[in-house]
Amino acid sequence: MTRFSGSSGSSASSAASSSSPLSSYGWDDGFAASFAPFAAQGLLPGRLVRIDRGRVDAVVPDATGVRTVLAATAPVATGDPLKVPCTGDWAAIDPGSGPDAVVRALLPRRTALVRSASSKRSEGQILAANLDTAVIAVSLAEPLDLGRVERFVSLAWESGATPLVALTKADVVPDGAGLTHLVADTEGAAPGVQVLAVSAATGAGLDVLAAALAGGTAVLLGRSGAGKSTLANALIGADVQDVHAVRDRDGKGRHTTTTRDLLVLPAGGVLIDTPGLRGVGMWDAEEGLARTFTDVEELAADCRFHDCAHTTEPGCAVLAAVDAGELAERRLDSYRKLLRENQRLIAKTDARLRAELRRDWKQKQALGRHMGERKRGTRR
């Protein structure tokens, strides 16, 4: 799975980072230490706040605070889709003498949100980097899809960021009891994750959400029509993101946000708004799935077989919990689906694992046939 790491800071870099005009964008001791070799080359530290067709907008320090420069990315262009510059990256930037600056290097990423680029291609797409919180926007103006919540939360955990679910458009829910029920259902699908019901129209819950995001870097995720741009405007207190109406016939929004923009929050911290995501495929998210489905994983520890698939195996503690009403069958189905999807993605790029999965599948098929015959009384 993809892992990203940063550097720890020194006492010298601590003083430099605390006084940097970039501190409001998330600059700290660790990034200052990583940048130290580039400072000797006369380069400037900068954070990428927008990516657009091979060029980026980046904020860099100047005599009066910060300024935004347009920078070319050719020197860091790579064939690896997980190493391309993305919003949230910290970089070493050559201000140059012409109209454009140049990104000379990217600093090591601490966290990164990655999804599968396509169900037909075995490569990932990086959505944002150096995140502290992943805010998953889920609209209450349409039926609550807990499976989608579990998918987003799994990817958020895998990124290294802390997921937070924002149930947007809470004002459309007519009664408090119904809203409480929806929050509880979402909490059940995302154990240990903070779930907030918010409304940009009434302001409900926005103060709690703003406090949760203050001082860090957050990314705003969700499908088109989830109200991400409206929520971003409400948090910032200005109409910085365009907002279009949701289509009445299917509840889907148009892709109002077409780039990933990093925005400064008044209460401190920054927010990366992203385009609506129609599909969010798993990308090597084994640990993220384990954290999202802690209830299933804990039950699985008591299964008779350590490689139990929780389908037809005897002594399966997970199936016993479903039969006893202790675990929702919907949740087990979602766990199986996401786990299979993740395994298929890994197998596309790992020949050894492909062979293991085929062998494992044949063994499970044989076991399933055996158990079926026993049930029908045709085999003893």
Start-to-end CA distance of the chain, whole Å, equals 43
Q: Give the chain's residues under pLDDT 50.
A: 2-3, 6-16, 244-257, 357, 361, 364-365, 368, 372, 375-376, 380
Q: What is the model's pLDDT at position 231?
A: 94
- What is the C-alpha separation between 8 and 322, in angstroms, rounded? 46
Give the DSSP H/E element, type plus range, for residue 359: helix 351-376
Cβ neighbours, 10 Å, residue 80: 9
Give the list of residues 6+ apart from residue 165 with CB closer than 8 angstroms, or none.
Answer: 135, 136, 138, 149, 153, 186, 190, 193, 194, 195, 196
Quick count: other Cβ atoms within 10 Å of Cβ 263?
20
Q: Are 29 and 9 in contact (CB under 8 A)?
A: yes
315 φ/ψ sector (left φ>0, alpha ψ -120 to 50, else beta): left
In the chain, the largest separation of any two C-alpha atoms, in whole Å, equals 84
Residue 256: per-residue pLDDT? 47
Size (the chain), residues? 380
pLDDT of res. 81? 84
pLDDT at 246: 46
pTM, to two decimals:
0.82
Output the six-digit token pair for 187: 């909490």
